Amino acid sequence: MFGDAVLPRGGHIWLGSLIALLAPLGLNDRLVRTSVFRLSQDDWLEATVHGRRSDYSLTPSGRRRFVDASRQIYAAASPPWDQRWRLITVTGSLEMAERDKLRRALFWHGFGEMGSDCFVHPSADLGAVFEALDGEGLDSTLLKLLPLVAANPRLPVSGNDASLVHRAWNLERLGADYTAFVDTYRAILQQWQSGGGAPASMGDDCAFLIRTLLVHDYRRLLLRDPQLPGVLLPTDWPGHEARALCRQLYQQLLAPSERHLDRHLKLASGEVPTATALLGERFGLSDPLRVWV
């Protein structure tokens, strides 16, 4: 919700507006308030009080993490591979809790694990990853990590590369999850196409709810995806179809869902923040707010 709908409108929202927007998804007042409180405790959100009302916005570290994630979620395509592996090796002693926190953090950055002391990725920006880890409270751990970039041999993909992929990532499980995503959301698109377009009975509110679920489900997959180059992926990798499907549905849903946000996303002052140019950067859409037909 914050990354997809709130951030492009300035990154601020009145708590009451957030509760109202999420209520149709079965999230009651108490659950939303509890979640916002926990996100604030974990330095994702911060409050600005206006009398008896509060606006919530992303903290600087929270905003940075969302912006980094958005580059993956809304990218039009995966970047080409330079055939160099990025490695992060543990050179110091880590407590079990510290190691688990590091493993979880790197997992969400797409890193695979090669034993307990080495993490690998085909194309990560190691500087940006270390900056993100610092923002996630792992600043003391960074002193015990060594980032490395393998030299480019300028050779075709080898059996060693394929073996590394097999050891570091469970592509079978991720592929199955991508297939389930495609099956679920392709049914919505097929329903629209069989009716000559999006059903007239679907209101702006429904478009917003589908968009929220679409991005939520796709994000959970993509942030587990190491974004391997095509030469290292199985034939007919379902992640490609999932990206194309998400882009197509998002473009159809964007304009009506933004109309819904125009009516219901408010600040504590009653002001309705407008969408910024961030929307135009998503999936490479040249006209993101085109008329919905």
45 or 284: which leads in pLDDT: 45
**209 lies in some domain:** yes
Q: What percent of the chain has pLDDT over 90?
A: 45
Are 248 and 199 in the same domain? Answer: yes
Among the candidates 96, 121, 151, a domain finishes at 151
State the pLDDT at residue 136.
79
Are 143 and 111 in the same domain? Answer: yes
Are 94 and 128 in the same domain? Answer: yes
Among the candidates 119, 151, 183, a domain finishes at 151
State the pLDDT at residue 63.
82
State the pLDDT at residue 198.
61
Per-residue pLDDT tens over the stretch 224-236: 888 888 888 888 8
State the pLDDT at residue 73.
73
Residue 288 has pLDDT above 50, yes or no: no
Residue 273 has pLDDT above 70, yes or no: yes
**284 lies in some domain:** no
pLDDT confidence band for 153 (50 / 70 / 90)? low
DSSP line for 107-118: HTTT-EESSSSE
**63 lies in some domain:** no
**205 lies in some domain:** yes
Are 123 and 177 in the same domain? Answer: no
Q: Where residue 220 sits, what CATH number does that domain have? A: 1.20.58
How buried is 231 (Cβ within 10 angstroms: 0-12 exposed, 13-18 middle, 19+ buried)?
A: exposed
Residue 289 has pLDDT above 50, yes or no: no
Are 189 and 243 in the same domain? Answer: yes
Q: What percent of the chain has pLDDT over 70?
A: 86
| Closest C-alpha among 58, 65, 34 to residue 44 | 58
- Which 8-state DSSP code applies to residue 57? E
Q: Which of the listed ranges 126-135, 142-151, 194-203, 204-213 does the model predict with the highest average pLDDT? A: 204-213
pLDDT confidence band for 283 (50 / 70 / 90)? low
Are 174 and 106 in the same domain? Answer: no
State the pLDDT at residue 278.
62
Per-residue pLDDT tens over the stretch 7-40: 889 889 999 999 999 999 999 999 999 999 999 9
Residue 292 has pLDDT above 60, yes or no: no
Contacts of 160 (CB under 8 A, 6+ apart): none
Per-residue pLDDT tens over the stretch 69-110: 776 677 666 667 788 889 999 998 889 999 999 998 898 888
Residue 284 has pLDDT above 90, yes or no: no
The pTM of this model reads 0.81
Residue 128 has pLDDT above 90, yes or no: no
Element (H or E) spanning 244, and its range? helix 238-264
Among the candidates 96, 120, 151, a domain finishes at 151
Are 258 and 211 in the same domain? Answer: yes
**55 lies in some domain:** no
* Mean local confidence (pLDDT), 218-245: 88
**43 lies in some domain:** no
Are 125 and 182 in the same domain? Answer: no
Dist. CA 48–CA 26, nearest whole Å = 26
Could you give the number of structural domains in the chain?
2
**250 lies in some domain:** yes
* Mean local confidence (pLDDT), 140-164: 76
Average pLDDT value over all residues in the chain: 85
**213 lies in some domain:** yes
275 or 70: which leads in pLDDT: 275
Q: Which range is least confidently modeled, 41-45, 199-203, 243-247?
A: 199-203
* Mean local confidence (pLDDT), 145-172: 76
Please answer whether residues 45 and 36 qualify as being in contact, where contact means their C-beta atoms are separated by less than 8 angstroms. yes
Main-chain dihedrals φ then ψ at residue 191, nearest 5 degrees: -65, -45
The alpha carbon of residue 209 and the mean position of all alpha carbons in its chain are separated, in whole angstroms, by 17
State the pLDDT at residue 199.
57
Domain extent, residue 121, equals 86-151
* Mean local confidence (pLDDT), 117-134: 88
Dist. CA 153–CA 79, nearest whole Å = 19
Are 145 and 202 in the same domain? Answer: no
Are 233 and 194 in the same domain? Answer: yes
